[in-house]
Amino acid sequence: MRRIVLKGLAFRKTRAVLTALAVVLGVAMVSGTYVLTDTIKSAFDQIFQGSYKNTSAVISGREFVSESASGNATVPEPLLAKVRKLPGVAAATGQITGVAGAGDQVQLIGKDGKPLSKGGAPSLGFGIDPSLPQFNPLRLTAGTWAIGPGQVVIDKGTAGNEGFKVGDTVPVAADGPRESFRIVGIAKYGNVDSLGGATLAVFDIPTAQRLLRKEGRFDSISMSAKPGVSDQQLVREVRPLLPPSAKVSTGAAEANKASDDTQKFINFIQYFLLAFAVIALFVGSFVIFNTLSITIAQRAREFATMRMIGASRRQVLRSVLLEGFVIGLLASVTGLFLGLGLAKLLNAIFKALSLDLPQAGTVFATRTVVVSLLIGTIITVASSIVPAIRATRVPPIAAVREGSQVPPTRLSPYSGGFALLLVLASVVALVIGSFANGLSTALTLLLLGVGCLALFVGVALVAKRLVPPIVEVVGQPAERLGGAPGRLARDNAVRNPARTASTAAALMIGLALVTLVATLGAGLRSSDRNALEQQVRADYVVTSDNGFTQFPAAAVKELPAAPGVGVASAVFDDNAKAFGKSIRVDGVDPATIARTYNFQWSQGSDATLAALGPNGAIIKQDYANDRHLKVGDTFQVTTPSGRRPTFVVRGISKPPVFDKIDPLLGKVIVSQDTFSRFFERPKVLLAFITLDRGVSPQATARLKQALARFPDAKVQSKADWVDERVGGVNQLLNLLYVLLALSVIVSLFGMVNTLVLAVFERTRELGMLRAVGMTRRQVRRMIRQESVITALIGAALGLPLGLFLAALVTRALQDQGLGFSVPVGSLVAFTVVAVIAGLLAAILPARRASRLDVLQALQYE
């Protein structure tokens, strides 16, 4: 039987290849995801391990608050002298690491006057002591280390991309106006080839302290132990010297912690990409199932002959499963190695979206090989089970019948009821997962994931009963415009509704998912726009270059004096911790903020702002409800430096509901004076500007001129700012569309498969049509229109299904302010894509059908 199966596959090479392609792409996505994320992790590990390779112990500020704009707590500079006197310390140096938070970034400015880091990638600023190279994680590739106030070393990637060389001058902006520095060296981070979109600026320690306003402080102190002193002994020796805001750990522990923190981010990318690989494989399983079902029906006489000469049902079952196993294994091996190229393509996509990450040598792990081979093979074999069982039901007598069909099963009459029950059960699971309270995150995700998969399967099973009425509608253009070939194409589409529905179901899934994404995106944009326009009264808004991180407070100090400015009100921003969880705290000017920002009050009024005083705070309604706070209550906050001020609730605001998804201001609002007292090196998130005479090109030019020395600060009119902020959703949508395109491509192979097999099945019929006068061109037109009709069936099923899922998600997030908006333009575009997909899928089958020899086709059985 094994020889028969292998020879049969060799004889049916085209069908086997087309079937395998449905698995190849999904496996390639799995393989590519693992290769990409493992390569990124390797690059980060090299960075961290290299940073602490010669370091026995590290003193650093404690992280009281995660992801703070001002970074972790710092270490007092006098501590270095005390550390150096310890008997177990061989050498020690202070460092400015520049990686603690957004506020510690040092921007390199390009020749166009704009920051060189893209897409929110970090702009790292370092201060190192070149006299102690053992603690320096970087290595020079040209020039020397910076040793003076006007010198800088930049990274090799930036130098190559921007054409910088030693001796050039580059503008640099940190926590203040930009300054010019002379490039004295070019360095790289260990053996890492690229830092992705990040840039690197290295100074001597005094210069870095001045730029980042850390005079008299270090981010860390690195130490090496004397011979005979272990790392743990050195840690114990140092610990009594530490202030409460500092901690000490071994160099190895610090490297492992940094790697673990990065691993969380990499895991998110990995799971995100693997989700789309699962979607592609799920669609591929439809294609495999449909292809094998058709071939089983076409090979009924072959199986009957095998039964007549002595093959048992079990042997027939094993032969079909073996065929699936061989196809799955070969497809998995192909997809495994194709994943290497796909990893580079994914990295290019991230780079195009300004999301590129550090890269080192390509990592091809054993785990990647095992998982890729297993998942592709298992899915192919699992998709072969039902067709294999059907093959065993072919009776031996079918060998002497012409045009034998696989007999229906005893459960066939109940398939419609089962499909309806499956759809109902999937909807129930989706509703429970979306609306039930008290469920764990894992259970919620399980209900939603299984519910979606079951819904797709259920609709696919129901679809065969929906095909005839749908074809009546979508087949009208083909019949009216295509003449006789169009009528034949429409009739062919309903000849075998189950086959047509199964083929269309693969495309249905991809179109349903892109419709879901587009509809949610339209709702997000509409709701966000309404919320922003309600809140902002200003004519102009100043933000960082990427719109979401903080920028230096010095940038807005000169705005009130700019010509035509009536009011300029800045919003300081940082993270803090309250009730054990991280929250945003903002500092506003009580005298001006209400003239540029529209507070909506639950308790209080604009007059409440003037009464904030040194310890007053305004909190949002949802935060007050969650923490059971009311006006007059007190609560304590922990700042990034470890200070613990107590605030009194003076008022409770009630911003638009969508503010929960895209918050403009923080949960807690205090005065700027209070903010500056408790938060070190305060940064600005937003600055609102109201002009005396409104928006004009002249006013825009004057404001840009006032901010010219601060390249990371960007001024926009309110309308432009709202458009850009709302348009930020599009970047995510574009990434989702690219990844979901893989499932659409897989569905194309399914349509090609079905059409090729249909041409093979109707060889004699096509010969008769040619014999009675149908031209080659008409044959090609008939196949193309049949393919387009099938694609439109997929659209007719997928678009409403996507809208239903979007409506369900929108209803679940209604309390977050998300509204439902139908993207009519996108739906039309998706329909056009379906038509194009149908035309593309028909190219090969139409060509093959038109080139059939008439006499041979008439003799074909």
So what's the pLDDT on residue 100? 42
Residue with the larger pLDDT of the pair 347 and 602: 602
Q: Where are the domains of the chain?
A: 56-262, 408-526+725-861, 546-711
Residue 778 to residues 482, 552, 758, 759, Cα–Cα distance (Å): 9, 69, 17, 14
Check: CB of residue 75 under 8 Å from CB of residue 60: yes
So what's the pLDDT on residue 101? 46
Using 50, 70 and 90 to split pLDDT, how confident is the model at 234? very high
Q: Supply angle C-alpha 537, 687, 115, rounded to 5.
A: 135
Q: Is 138 left (phi over 0), alpha (psi -120 to 50) or beta?
A: beta
Question: For the chain, what percent of residues have pLDDT higher than 70?
Answer: 91
Q: Supply angle C-alpha 309, 315, 317, rounded to 5.
A: 125
Longest pairwise C-alpha distance within the chain? 103
| Distance separating alpha carbons of residues 38 and 43, to the nearest angstrom | 9
Helix/strand/coil for 244: coil
| Distance separating alpha carbons of residues 448 and 431, to the nearest angstrom | 8
pLDDT-wise least confident of 165-169, 639-643, 846-850:
846-850
pTM, two decimals, is 0.81
Residue with the larger pLDDT of the pair 656 and 857: 656
Residue 753 to residues 286, 381, 503, 759, 787, Cα–Cα distance (Å): 12, 18, 9, 10, 11
Per-residue pLDDT tens digits for 60-119: 999 899 888 888 889 999 999 999 999 999 999 999 986 544 456 788 998 887 888 765
Per-residue pLDDT tens digits for 148-158: 899 999 988 88
So what's the pLDDT on residue 588? 96
- Count of helix runs (H) and strand runs (E) in the chain: 25, 24
So what's the pLDDT on residue 36? 87
Residue 539 has pLDDT above 80, yes or no: yes
Tell me what the mean pLDDT of segment 640-666 comes to: 92
Residue 478 to residues 491, 777, 788, 793, 842, Cα–Cα distance (Å): 11, 15, 9, 13, 15
| Distance separating alpha carbons of residues 225 and 227, to the nearest angstrom | 6
Residue 23 has pLDDT above 90, yes or no: no
So what's the pLDDT on residue 619? 96
Tell me what the mean pLDDT of segment 760-788 comes to: 84
So what's the pLDDT on residue 305? 73
pLDDT-wise least confident of 172-176, 345-349, 591-595, 627-631:
345-349
Take residue 705 and report the two structure tokens written for it: 């001129």
Question: Rg of the chain over CA atoms, in angstroms?
Answer: 33
How many other β-carbons are positioned within 10 Å of the β-carbon of residue 855? 11
* Sequence-distant contacts of 483-491: CB under 8 A, at least 24 apart: 484/774, 484/778, 485/774, 485/778, 485/779, 485/781, 485/782, 485/785, 486/781, 486/782, 486/785, 488/769, 488/782, 489/781, 489/782, 489/783, 489/784, 489/785, 489/786, 489/789, 490/785, 490/789
So what's the pLDDT on residue 410? 60
Per-residue pLDDT tens digits for 282-305: 888 878 887 777 777 666 667 777
Per-residue pLDDT tens digits for 462-502: 888 888 899 888 888 877 777 888 888 888 888 888 778 88
So what's the pLDDT on residue 621? 94
Residue 858 has pLDDT above 80, yes or no: no
Tell me what the mean pLDDT of segment 382-387 comes to: 84
So what's the pLDDT on residue 369? 92
So what's the pLDDT on residue 374? 93
So what's the pLDDT on residue 210? 92
Check: CB of residue 177 under 8 Å from CB of residue 183: no
Tell me what the mean pLDDT of segment 16-21 comes to: 76
Nearest to 182 by CA among 170, 172, 173: 170
How many other β-carbons are positioned within 10 Å of the β-carbon of residue 94? 23
Tell me what the mean pLDDT of segment 769-795 comes to: 88
pLDDT-wise least confident of 215-224, 249-258, 582-591, 806-815:
806-815
So what's the pLDDT on residue 81? 94
Helix (H), strand (E), coil (C) string for 347-361: HHHHHHCCCCCCECC
Tell me what the mean pLDDT of segment 158-187 comes to: 91
So what's the pLDDT on residue 472? 87
So what's the pLDDT on residue 597? 95
Tell me what the mean pLDDT of segment 180-197 comes to: 81
So what's the pLDDT on residue 235? 94
Tell me what the mean pLDDT of segment 202-218 comes to: 93
What spatial distance separates the first Cα and last Cα of the chain, rounded to whole Å? 25
Using 50, 70 and 90 to split pLDDT, how confident is the model at 41? confident
State the chain's mean pLDDT as an integer: 85
Residue with the larger pLDDT of the pair 675 and 353: 675
Residue with the larger pLDDT of the pair 817 and 199: 199
Tell me what the mean pLDDT of segment 240-260 comes to: 90
Residue 799 has pLDDT above 90, yes or no: yes
Phi, psi of 148 (to 5 degrees): -145, 170
Residue with the larger pLDDT of the pair 10 and 345: 345
So what's the pLDDT on residue 102? 46
Tell me what the mean pLDDT of segment 431-442 comes to: 74
Residue 5 has pLDDT above 80, yes or no: no
Phi, psi of 662 (to 5 degrees): -125, 80
Per-residue pLDDT tens digits for 670-697: 999 999 999 988 999 999 999 987 777 7
Per-residue pLDDT tens digits for 542-557: 998 877 788 888 888 8
| Distance separating alpha carbons of residues 573 and 571, to the nearest angstrom | 6
How many other β-carbons are positioned within 10 Å of the β-carbon of residue 42? 18
| Distance separating alpha carbons of residues 435 and 430, to the nearest angstrom | 9
| Distance separating alpha carbons of residues 295 and 754, to the nearest angstrom | 10
